Structure 1
């Protein structure tokens, strides 16, 4: 896939003399574009909490981004680190009480994954239903040999995260648990500012998970407009991700809220 071409704004002076840019302490980021695929807009109208959680990420200026410079074709441009943007978003996401960060799927259940390279950046899901699925994985008809050990570790982790009540951490709680009693939607999210090829990989993960357990919504956050121009070339952007989604609409059944993030450049006229 060819990425959208855009015109860099090159700085005409040596980067060391670009004092106005280097001295900026805070940046204002905002939602500049939205694309609703399938019935994601209707879903967010029914469950506005998940839309509001994303909108509220931008309620205050970002004071943890460092202005720097990138170089292409022996010319310099004003740049912001994608790593810093990712860290800044994760820091804000971590303040949402019922959100899970770095989530993976295995053998019928979701889990918070310490290996940050394989899972989804964030997710919402019914923790009791998920615990029931893990309980069945440990002690069900096709239980694993070390189920007791796995369950003990799971309970220990859950106590630390405080997602579940003490009652729902008891094994006996799930003996008569109604498997269809799900009340919280299953939502996965990605914050993607890396190489454009990862856009395909992210959608493959979604297709795989949706086939196994079902997903109610994918929230996909990626750069656009001015912010896009302040990041490295050949990255996932709002425009090329929208094109990917539309190209594979015949196989993509999951509702998607594609969110384009932009930045207010305080030096746009300088």
Structure 2
């Protein structure tokens, strides 16, 4: 009798897990560096992955970003993105994998391929092609179906409640704050441009190189835009609510 009960419990657990889909999740976390690469955001792939996930409808964050309380208090409310590379002769093959907080694969894309010879172009094309199948999956967040793991999360403690109450402090790196913050941001070079850090040190923004030496594609985790130099000073410009926002930055290269 006990054996039958145990088997039924295992069957229920497996069935519940199999019913979990990407539609149960609102958020996806993208690592600063995928295991298949040697450096953070190599070839701009991490930022590209985040952007493509947002284009499909997810709310995507880099793991070092200031996170909303939903994720900060329970990482099981978010999927984690990963890329798997399959070595091919004269081709690059990339598969996108979305895992839950326990490492279970919730979604695995079809392999995206590229025959580009230049590495950055090859990886970018392969990743974009891997997203084709995810696009076809017609993702739509279902707020009534929370992740299976969320239901077993412990009830918020007094400490958790305090953290949630003080969460706005974590938004110190948002664009509006940067506009008022005159502290120096230090540029650390990487393979694709720079990351800007404050004196904490904490990463504030990612800058991707363009064909113009004083113009960068910029992402601070909240807004995407451009950083450029004008009259010897640096500015971050982006659109918010269809209005152009321009912010002065104090950058030391």
> Which bracket does the TM-score occupy, shorter chain normalised?
under 0.3
TM-score, length basis structure 1: 0.20
Q: Relative contact order: is structure 1 or structure 2 higher (C-alpha 8 Å, sep ≥ 6)? A: 1
Higher strand proportion (structure 1 or 2): 2
